[in-house]
Chains A and B, each alone.
Chain A
Amino acid sequence: MRAAPYLLAAPLGLVLGAFLLVPMAAILVVSVFDYDSVRLIPDVVLTNYADVLLSRVTWLTYLNTLKYTALVWVLTVGIGVPIALFLAFCVQSAALQAVLFLVCTVPFLTSNVIRMISWVPFLGREGLFNGALMGAGLIARPLDVLLFSDFAVVLAFVHLYALFMVVPVFNTMVRIDRRLIEAAVDAGAGPWAVLREVILPLSKPGIAIGSVFIITLVMGDFTTVRLMGGGQRASVGLMISNQIALLQYPAACANAVVLLALVLLMIAALLRVVDIRREL
């Protein structure tokens, strides 16, 4: 019966092999091809990697993408952890917990793109928000920075992805053994001490899983940056999508390999700090 475990794992293994590993291998191979404006020229050249790694533009683009990731991460943790805390500890009834949790997911019943685009009429120069501020006499001229800016990009990211932080954190928090908290209280800990010494350390795996979602989603994004940045902001995903659009597949592949390596490194570093296997 030693074959049984392998048989059980086989369907997923086959799917991942066919639809993840094979395409990744193809990306790796194409990334060393040469190309002209229409054709891929099978070859082993390092020019694509040189173009990625030695260009100032790529470095700036990567830095900009990392900046978005850092900002979005800080904000989603800042928003997600208190929400999860509220749901897990302040709401006593399990039924109400479930209801409130579902309420959190309501915005996600609409499409990602719609949620993003609906910010445009709200934040625009002639938009609702500027109109309200001007109506209230707070500003004399509309604020341009609200739309087609870094602010707009980060706002949309946080709006789109905050739930990806709430869910895993909530999930770890509800599984924290309540007796630990009682013990801490009995030992004389105040609410802040309980939070700092008991709840947060035990929630770390959830935060780590949420962070993995945030990092991978933001690092690879291209639509949000394009739409909310008004085409004036850059991200690695957008750079890759531009290269694909211009049929520069080898350049896009080299870029994708570098991006993948970077994201894997970030996640490896994260997993060294937090042991999420305990959670799984």
Chain B
Amino acid sequence: MAHAKTIGRRTALKAGLGLAGAAAGSGAITGFPTIWAQNIRNITLRQFGTGVSNLNALADKVKQDLGFTLAMTALDSDAVSQKAVTQPRSYDIADIEYWICKKIFPAGVLQPMDVKRIKNYDKIVPIFTTGRLTPESRIAQGTAPHTVGFVEGPASTKFAAQPTGWMTLIPTIYNADTLGIRPDLVGRPIRNWRDLVDPAFKGKASILNIPSIGIMDAAMVMESLGRIKYGDKGNMTRDEIEKTTAFLIEAKRAGQFRAFWKSFDESVNLMASGEVVIQSMWSPAVTAVRSRGIACTYQPLEEGYRAWGGGLGLSKNLSGIELDAAYDYINWYLSGWAGAYLNRQGYYSAVLETAKENMSADEWGFWMEGKPAQSDIKTPDGKVLEKAGAVRDGGAFAERMGQVACWNSVMTEDRFLVQKWNEFVVA
């Protein structure tokens, strides 16, 4: 993998051609296309994204199933958006979140995908196409994936309101976020977002310090307190931003927060050490706390979840056989093995049908249907995650993804938001 990273794609390809020629020995190499077709094994696709979905197990399986190399680089979410926009030649596949996509796609660094070339397109969870999980469900606020999921044509960077056949990202993983709590230390049932600012947890609460996401957790709290009713929590007006940050500053001055966290490990440590008993959290962080033998619940709340989702986008620079390989990869991604792998980590995958075929009935029941585990639930690498009898926090897929109040988003007033957020941090 390190080898693949250091050698450029072109050089790797040339070296591959040379090797193939040598291997063919006397073989008369005449037509380039045939050589290229045979050389899919020598292709390296460079993918980057956040640590959550850039998993080496996937790259290994791709090598095994498809024959080519997937070189993965894991970065933090800030670095991901920077790299996507400022170094478009340094990657072939961008694994980015939908809300960042709203910023990145208009910059013209990605190319839309032709859904005709995607075999399981029709089976993709409709959240990503129509925005509704079931025909009756309400569309959540924020940057809902379907609003940035399509562009108007193959060369367009303008998002389309309806599915057009040109998709910006193929969804990989998504999930519904809520507050994490230490059930042993909070001392009472937690049911609402407003519990984050309960004076009982003074100096023991935390919120995440990523302005665009932190503000939405704060908005969930504000609405839960009945202080304000937002038009769209994912795209606030200046007035709403001002009120929300003023509220946060008030809570900070009162000593409500122990710390603000920015990275996954910070949130795990705050919770595991007992510095914090209630905070915004990501699901794998909850798993990480539990795996240390410390009780931690990913608490479902009455007001619903804040959801996020990521997907694979193709670099504008991809063409020819490498583009074909990228489509092969995407089709593979939706064909089940990867979906099952991701579902087993507590995320959700884009095509449920194929993932189900790759999971045991017990696994499917536990992860997707909210049923008690029949036997021990294991991680993809075989560690016991939950004992038999355990039930997933928040229950079934439809219950969790059906209760999404708001998607991670980027706001029109994001410059103003950042100024106000800085005020909060300085206060």
Residues of A whose CB lies within 8 Å of any CB of B are 37-39, 51, 55-57, 60-61, 64, 120-121, 124-126, 144, 147-148, 226, 230-234, 238-239, 242-248
Contact = CB atoms under 8 A, between A and B. Distances in A.
Contacts of A37: 103, 410, 414-415
B134 interface: no
A234 B82 CA distance: 23
Given A120-B269, A232-B252, A61 B418 contact: no
A270 B106 CA distance: 48
Nearest to A36: B415
9 contacts: A56-B423, A57-B422, A57-B426, A144-B203, A231-B209, A231-B425, A232-B257, A234-B426, A248-B418
Contact of A247 (B81, B274, B425, B426): B81
B262 interface: yes
Contacts, number: 76
A242 B107 contact: no
Contacts of A238: 425
A57 B203 CA distance: 24
A230 B209 CA distance: 10
Contact of A226 (B211, B262, B414, B426): B262
Given A231-B425, A232-B425, A55 B252 contact: no
Nearest to A56: B423
Contact of A246 (B257, B261, B274, B418): B418
B419 A245 contact: no
B121 interface: no
B260 A245 contact: no
Contact of A239 (B211, B252, B422): B422
Contact of A242 (B81, B104, B414, B422): B422
A61 B421 CA distance: 13
Given A244-B78, A246-B211, A248-B418, 20 more contacts: A37-B414, A38-B106, A38-B107, A56-B423, A61-B426, A120-B269, A124-B273, A126-B273, A126-B274, A231-B260, A232-B259, A234-B425, A242-B211, A245-B78, A246-B78, A246-B414, A246-B418, A247-B81, A247-B82, A247-B103
Size class of B's contact patch?
A: 20 to 34
B258 A148 contact: yes
Contacts of B274: 125-126
B419 A57 contact: yes
Most-contacted residue by chain B among A64, A226, A232, A239 (CB, 10 A): A232
Given A60-B426, A232-B425, A247-B82, A121 B259 contact: no
A244 B86 CA distance: 12
A234 B209 CA distance: 12
Given A38-B106, A126-B274, A126-B275, A231 B261 contact: yes
Interface string B59-86: 0000000000000000000100110010
Interface in B262-297: 262, 269, 273-275
Contacts of A121: 273
Nearest to A246: B418
Nearest to A238: B425
A39 B419 CA distance: 18
B85 to A, nearest CB: 6
A60 to B, nearest CB: 5
A124 B266 CA distance: 13
B259 A231 contact: yes
Contact of A124 (B203, B275, B415): B275
A215 to B, nearest CB: 21
A152 to B, nearest CB: 10
Contacts of A243: 418
Contacts of A57: 419, 422-423, 426
Interface string B211-236: 10000000000000000000000000
Interface in B197-211: 203, 209, 211
A126 B104 CA distance: 43
Contact of B426 (A39, A64, A147, A248): A64
B422 A234 contact: yes
B415 A248 contact: yes
Contacts of B273: 121, 124-126
B356 to A, nearest CB: 38
Contacts of A124: 273, 275
A124 B257 CA distance: 14
Contacts of A125: 273-275
Contacts of A230: 258-260
Contacts of A244: 78, 82
A38 B88 CA distance: 13
Contacts of A248: 415, 418
A125 B259 CA distance: 12
B258 to A, nearest CB: 6
Nearest 7 interchain pairs by C-beta: A230-B259, A231-B260, A245-B78, A234-B426, A231-B209, A38-B107, A38-B103
A37 B411 CA distance: 9
